[in-house]
């Protein structure tokens, strides 16, 4: 179905948009439909207009996402513009749209003298993605501070859900599969002594320990209980190991970088190789943290969609 069938002034609608332009790995084939809504209301109208069986994928900064080379059969919704509002409500309450970068949330909370929120500076994605996977860094986790969320369903209907409507675990959040996050309400404590220096310090620590500036997705694997995926990968002798243009970072072993000419197939093959090698060497089965979507070729597909 042509993209113009959906365009009623709701936003920018593109056909066959290459996802290499929108993912931090800089790989991935085309999406059938790529939609950049102008507002929450126009986003809801767009969803209502979609065929009920068309998969919907949500993307923020594309930092925890591997799109296969065959691309995505369905509609991709980019939320960073329409859902990018953030405001302080007083009393330690912060409302942030799903498209707000986590680094922005961290800085705003410091200015508003609430926290602890500095850890959000270590999450290379948006609030929506952080909600989807209970993202965390430097000892903090997203859902420790969530009191409620706004969601939208396939019919374009918006609702509010209390935090206890979700089952939350390490890097895992379970709720209705047919609802997606639009915004979150966070509660933080008053912290009059907080300063921007704490955020700058955490960002500097990331720069020193992680291969920032190179195409990657952030951490590829979850840390197993009582251990670190990076340690297991490094001691398995995999730092610097390459498949095609995909390479295990020599700076942080839980990062896979695109050295310049990687395909999504290269990255996925390296993910599988690292997981298999760690299993053989350490007897530990690493769980992938990155979301892998799309088709290895340009044929077919029956993905249901989801938040990335």
What is d(CA 2, CA 19) in angstroms, rounded to the nearest whole number?
Answer: 18
DSSP code of residue 51: -
Which ranges constitute the DSSP H helices of 134-225? Answer: 196-209
Domains of the chain in start order, with CATH, are: 3-81 (3.30.43.10), 86-190 (3.30.465.10), 219-289 (3.90.78.10)
State residue 305's pLDDT score. Answer: 58
pLDDT score, position 204: 74
Q: Are 267 and 256 in contact (CB under 8 A)?
A: yes
Confirm if 7 and 13 have CB atoms less than 8 A apart: yes
The answer to whether residues 226 and 268 touch, using CB atoms and an 8 Å cutoff, is no
What is the b/e burial string over 156-188, where b = at least 16 CB atoms within 10 angstroms of the residue's CB? Answer: eeeeebebeebebeebebebeeebbbbbbbbbb
What is the per-residue pLDDT for 5? Answer: 45
Q: Radius of gyration (Cα) for the chain, nearest Å?
A: 19
**Sign of the C-alpha dihedral computed for residues 42, 44, 48 and 52 taken in this order:** positive
Residues of the chain whose pLDDT is less than 50? 1-2, 4-6, 298-302, 308
pLDDT, position 197 = 77
pLDDT in the model for residue 299:
46
Question: Facing residues of 76 across strands?
Answer: 34, 57
Active site residue 289: yes
Catalytic residue among 219, 247, 249, 295: 219
Identify the H or E element spanning 291.
Answer: strand 291-293
- Tokens representing 260 are 């310049």
Question: Taking Cα atoms as reference points, which of 284, 286, 219 lies closest to residue 252?
Answer: 219
Pairing of strands 114-115, 189-190: antiparallel
| Active-site entry in 17, 118, 289, 295 | 289
Of 42, 154, 171, 222, the active-site residue reads 171
171 is catalytic: yes
Q: Which of 114, 119, 256 is nearest to 191 (CA)?
A: 114
Q: What's the pLDDT at 11?
A: 67
Neighbours of 112 (CB within 10 A): 20
CB 162 within 8 A of CB 179: no
pLDDT of residue 201: 76
Question: What pLDDT, on the 0 to 100 scale, is given for residue 1?
Answer: 42
């Amino acid at each position: 179905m042509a993209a113009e069938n959906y365009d009623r002034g709701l936003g920018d609608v593109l056909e066959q948009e290459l996802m290499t332009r929108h993912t931090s790995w800089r790989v991935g084939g085309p999406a059938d439909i790529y939609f950049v809504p102008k507002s929450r209301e126009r986003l809801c109208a767009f969803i209502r207009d979609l065929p009920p069986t068309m998969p919907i994928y949500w993307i923020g900064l594309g930092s925890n996402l591997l799109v296969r080379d065959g691309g995505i059969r369905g509609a991709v919704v980019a939320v960073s513009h329409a859902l990018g509002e953030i405001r302080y409500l007083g009393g330690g309450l912060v409302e942030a749209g799903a498209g707000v970068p986590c680094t922005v949330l961290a800085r705003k909370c410091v200015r508003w003298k609430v926290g602890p929120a500095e850890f959000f500076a270590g999450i290379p994605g948006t609030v929506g993605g952080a909600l989807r996977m209970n993202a965390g860094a430097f000892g903090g986790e997203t859902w420790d501070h969530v009191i409620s969320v706004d969601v939208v369903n396939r019919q374009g209907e918006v609702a509010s859900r209390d935090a206890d409507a979700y089952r939350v675990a390490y890097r895992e959040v379970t709720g209705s599969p047919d609802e997606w996050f639009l915004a979150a309400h966070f509660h933080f404590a008053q912290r009059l002594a907080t300063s921007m220096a704490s955020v700058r310090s955490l960002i500097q620590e990331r720069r020193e320990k992680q291969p920032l500036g190179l195409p990657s997705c952030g951490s590829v694997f979850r840390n197993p209980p009582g251990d670190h995926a990076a340690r297991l990968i490094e001691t398995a002798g995999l730092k610097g190991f390459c498949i095609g243009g995909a390479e295990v970072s020599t700076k942080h072993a839980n990062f896979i970088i695109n050295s310049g000419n990687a395909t999504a197939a290269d990255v996925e093959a390296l993910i599988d190789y690292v997981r298999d090698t760690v299993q053989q060497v350490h007897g530990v089965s690493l769980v992938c943290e990155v979301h892998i979507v799309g088709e290895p070729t340009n044929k077919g597909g029956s993905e249901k969609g989801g938040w990335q």
